[in-house]
Amino acid sequence: MIKHIDISDTDLRLKIKAKQILFGGHNNLKIYGYLNCKSGKRMKRKNRIFFSTEKEALKNNFRPCGHCMRVAYKKWKDEVV
């Protein structure tokens, strides 16, 4: 888990190209999704957090994004209710 404010733009690009970062999330709302998600791109830098795996995001109590991860979100929602 890497906070956006703790990593330089250059290091971030390198980690994304190397596939070390695959998911982004909102630290306050505890939501994660794909890096190309429209909702995720609108986040403020101070709230953005990055994960290398989906398992890492779930382990940190984040839920899937309802926009870019509809199937995973539905599965999560059905398990919660």
Token pair of 21, please? 């970062």
pLDDT tens-place string over residues 40-56: 888 999 999 999 999 99
Q: Is the Cα torsion angle 39, 34, 27, 61 positive or negative in sign?
A: positive
pLDDT of residue 80: 80
pLDDT of residue 81: 72
pLDDT tens-place string over residues 14-41: 999 999 999 999 999 999 999 999 988 8
Can you give the residue range of the structural domain that contains 54?
A: 2-80
pLDDT of residue 34: 96
Alpha-carbon gap, residue 50 to 80, rounded angstroms: 24
Number of domains into which the chain is organized: 1
Asked whether residue 66 carries a pLDDT value surpassing 90, the answer given is yes
Domain of 54: which CATH number? 3.40.10.10
Residue 50 host element (H or E)? strand 48-51
Q: What size, in residues, is the chain?
A: 81
- CB under 8 Å to 48, separation ≥6 — which residues? 3, 4, 24, 25, 26, 27, 40
